[in-house]
Every structure is written in structure tokens, then in C-alpha cells.
Amino acid sequence: MDDSSPEAGLFHIAGIADWEHAQQAGVYDVGLAQDGFIHLSGRHQVLTPANLWYVGRTDLVLLVIDEAKLTSELVREPGTGTDVLFPHLYGPLNIDAVDDAVAFVPDDDGTFGELPAGI
């Protein structure tokens, strides 16, 4: 499946506390001020950032995002240090574009070997 198609899905790894705060605030903007965009992933890409930046963290959720509902600009462009195209959201993530938030727990060794069941 082409990862640029809506059926491929978009995902974002978030801290539980950040997601809870976003639900109260009505918008998710973690990383936006620092990077200028919010890092997203296609289904086949989720484990890459998980194992680069989140090893050992047990306080995470995987946000399942409906691309058709996004109100900020989505751009697919090379990730840091790679030619692989990653989806970047240039603006806040509107809460109503998030279809689900699923616990994202690492394996016993702290790494992420697979997506949560049902994703």
C-alpha cells in the first residue's frame, strides 16, 4: 500500500501526560515550537522513531490520526539524516483528527518490536 494514501494511516508517539493535556486544551502542539512541525509517521515508520527516541519509556500512547480531518498543513519530506519521506504537520494537531490513542509499551528489553495489537 502507498503510505501517502489515507488508508495507510498516520501516527504520532506521544507521552500520556502530553496527550491528556492536549485533550483538555483542545489541541496538541508538542514539538511544534522547537521543530516548527509535529513529527508523524506512516504505519511502516513508527518503530524507527520509537527505537531512536523512546527506548525504555513506558508512558507513551500511539495516536492514530485521520489525515482527512487534519486542519494544519501536512508535508511529506525527508527525515533528519535520511532521504526517507516522513509526514510532518506544520501546525497544531486538532484533537478531532485523532481517531484513537493506544498504549504503546516497549518489549522487556525497552525496545519497540511491533505496533500495538489492533493498529
Q: pLDDT tens digit string along 74-118?
A: 999 998 788 999 999 999 999 999 999 999 999 999 999 999 988
Give the pTM. Answer: 0.91
Residue 93 cell numbers, joined: 494537531
Q: How does DSSP classify residue 37? A: S
What is the pLDDT, as a whole number, of residue 8? 67
- Cα 45 to the center of its chain, rounded Å: 10
pLDDT band, very low/low/confident/very high, at 44 (cuts 50, 70, 90): very high
CATH topology of domain 6-103: ADP-ribosylation fold (3.20.170)
Q: In the predicted model, is pLDDT for residue 2 greater than 70?
A: no
Q: What is the pLDDT of residue 118?
A: 84
Q: Under a CB-based contact definition with an 8 Å cutoff, are residues 43 and 115 in contact?
A: yes
Residue 35: φ, ψ to 5°: -100, -15
